[in-house]
Amino acid sequence: MASNADFVHYITDQCGGAGEIVTKKMFGDYGIYCDGKIFGLICDDSLFRRRV
């Protein structure tokens, strides 16, 4: 099941203060980037962030 576009927009808005947030469609869902570096995936209306 693909992610809802409204959910992707909501997550993008919530992360907006961290830098330039961009989402790119990949693997049927979305990768989420901050200042050009991937930090998570949005899959099935869930955000999975990369461990640092």
Query: Following DSSP, what letter does each residue of 5-52 receive, concatenated?
Result: HHHHHHHHHHTGGGS-EEEEEETTEEEEEETTEEEEEEETTEEEEPP-
pLDDT digit string, tens, across residues 10-27: 999 999 888 999 999 988
Q: pLDDT value at position 12? A: 93
Amino acid identity of residue 9, one-letter, is H
Confidence label for 1 from pLDDT (cuts 50, 70 and 90)? low
pTM given for the model: 0.83
pLDDT digit string, tens, across residues 23-51: 999 888 999 999 999 999 999 999 999 87
Q: pLDDT value at position 25? A: 92
